[in-house]
């Protein structure tokens, strides 16, 4: 099992969500997050004053899939849809999942995914 965390631009939220739904990915958790990377923020003019915005709004998708094949399929779709070719497009992190427990039934492993 793999956990995929994808940090993407907020304006890509609907496109990524729809693309994941189109390939039948189930069980997605989405959070609004703040972060910075190579982009290092930007300067905005607020009430006539230049303000350095260093933490940018992003969307984080968390997805657990049962196989490496599903992980690659999911990663490929996110890369394709979330990419604008500009700094700040985001990152995808992939983790191995040791075990999963479904709270309602107590099922473990792939059955719980």
For 33-59, the pLDDT digits (tens) are: 988 877 666 676 777 877 777 778 999
User: CATH class for domain 2-112?
Assistant: alpha beta
Which helix (DSSP H) or strand (DSSP E) does residue 11 occupy?
none
Residue 96 bridge partners (DSSP): 2
User: Which pLDDT value is given to residue 41?
Assistant: 66
Radius of gyration of the chain (CA): 17
User: Which pLDDT value is given to residue 53?
Assistant: 73
pTM, 2 dp? 0.86
Structural domain boundaries in the chain: 2-112
For 8-40, the pLDDT digits (tens) are: 999 999 999 999 999 999 889 999 998 887 766
The beta strand positions in 1-113, using DSSP E, are 2-8, 28-35, 42-46, 49-53, 56-65, 90-96
Rounded to an integer, what distance in angstroms lies between the CA atom of residue 113 and that of residue 109?
7
Closest CA to 31 of 11, 56, 10: 10
pLDDT band at 62 (very low <50, low <70, confident <90, very high): very high
**Is 64 within 8 Å of 113 (Cβ atoms)?**
yes
């Amino acid at each position: 099992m793999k956990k995929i965390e994808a940090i993407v631009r907020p304006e890509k939220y609907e496109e990524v969500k729809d693309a994941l739904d189109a390939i039948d990915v189930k069980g997605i958790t989405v959070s609004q997050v703040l972060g910075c990377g190579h982009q290092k923020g930007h300067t905005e003019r607020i009430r006539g004053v230049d303000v350095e915005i260093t933490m940018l709004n992003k969307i984080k998708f968390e997805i657990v899939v049962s196989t490496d094949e599903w992980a690659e399929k999911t990663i490929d779709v996110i890369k394709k849809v979330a990419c604008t070719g500009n700094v700040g497009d985001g990152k995808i992190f992939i983790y191995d999942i040791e075990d999963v427990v479904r709270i309602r039934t107590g099922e473990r492993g792939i059955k719980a995914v």
